[in-house]
Amino acid sequence: MSRNRSIPRARDSRNRPGSTRKRLSQNFLTNPGVARMLTRSSGVGPTDLVVEIGPGDGMLTRQLLSAGAQVLAYEKDRHYADDKRICCLPLDFRDVVAPREPFSVVANIPFASTTDIVRWCLAARYLTSATLLVQREFARKQSGDYGRWTKLSVSHWPTATMELGARVGRHNFHPVPSVDSAVLRLTRRSQPLLSVREMPGYRYFVELGYSGLGGSLAASLTRAFPAKTVRMACAIAEIDTGLPVGFLPPDRWIALYRAMR
């Protein structure tokens, strides 16, 4: 795997035609300070392997290299993938096999591919963390900042956390998007809260709970469990049987799952 530790000043992305950017949902960072903040937030250091998604003109890449990281970049837009000054593979990131060694992901990712990229990160066995610049609303939803939690974050809570980081205004990008961004920080737990054998059952349990039947978590669970069993488990886990599914925090999901068992 070739890695380039030196990237000269990149070409100005603002001189490019906008059609490809629009098609790939790319909004390039124009503020070096934001790139430095993202690099610091990631905690990467010398010799760390970092996967970057959509490096574009290299604004973030240069900061990662300055921190001493070994960068493996994937850029679908061949306008940049053909630039030999940047260590970059012209591949769609979603089709890439994850490294088989510990690595981090640090990236300013396209809004249109956010969910696919987050799922890829969560499924990567050797990923230690992912520091992603995403649409702020998405980051707030996945981190529970609205007081509600998504099925995606709850399903992976036993093995990974999702935390909301700094807000980044829309005018730090070109072209300027219609909404602000924020840092979403994914961290793999060193000690999972459930065993490998328990995880399939837990994820089925979460899928069932989010099925939406009856307007409450307890009502949804009665599709597969006796109502009496569900009521008893909710009592043990100290959960209101009328609670809408999205309002149950991830740690209480684990308590309820264990009580059901």
Q: List the single range of 58-72, 191-205, 218-232 with lowest mean pLDDT.
A: 58-72
Task: Answer yes or no: are the C-beta atoms of 158 and 257 closer than 8 Å.
Answer: no
Joined together, the tokens standing for residue 186 give 């994914």
- Residues 203 and 172 reside in one and the same domain: no
Taking residues 43-65, what's their average pLDDT? 90
List of long-range contacts for 149-154, beta carbons under 8 Å, 24+ apart: 149/246, 149/247, 149/248, 149/249, 149/250, 150/246, 151/206, 151/207, 151/210, 152/115, 152/118, 152/119, 152/122, 153/250, 154/206, 154/210, 154/248, 154/250, 154/253
CATH number at residue 62: 3.40.50.150
29 & 111 share domain: yes
CA 69 to chain centre: 20
Q: Are 161 and 240 members of one domain? A: no
- Min mean pLDDT across 63-67, 177-181, 195-199, 204-208 is at 63-67
> If you average pLDDT over every residue of the chain, what do you get?
86
Q: Are 45 and 106 in contact (CB under 8 A)?
A: no
Given the DSSP bridges, would you call strands 173-174 and 28-29 parallel, antiparallel or unpaired? antiparallel
Residue 4 lies in a domain: no
Question: Residues 205, 119: one domain?
Answer: no
The pLDDT tens digits of the residues spanning 114-169 come to 999 999 999 999 999 999 999 999 999 999 999 999 999 999 999 999 999 999 99
- Report if residue 194 sits inside a domain: no
Instruction: Indicate the residue among 148, 163, 188 that finishes a domain.
Output: 188
Residue 7 has pLDDT above 90, yes or no: no
Tell me if 100 is assigned to some domain.
yes
205 and 181 housed in the same domain: no
Vertex 159 angle, CA 130 and 168, to 5° = 30
* Structural domain range at position 120: 13-188
If asked whether residues 77 and 99 sit together in one domain, one would say yes
> Where residue 237 sits, what CATH number does that domain have?
1.10.8
87 and 210 both lie in a single domain = no
Query: Cα separations (Å) of 42 from 132, 141, 165, 186, 217?
Result: 9, 20, 11, 10, 35
Asked which of 72-86, 99-113, 169-183 is least confident by mean pLDDT, the reply is: 72-86
Most confident by average pLDDT, 1-15, 21-35, 90-104: 90-104
Structure tokens at 202: 């837990």
| Same domain, yes or no: 51 and 130 | yes
In a domain, 168, yes or no: yes
Position 6 in a domain = no
23 and 126 together in one domain: yes
The answer to whether position 8 is within a domain reads no
User: Which residue type occupies 204?
Assistant: Y
The answer on 35 and 95 residing in a single domain is yes
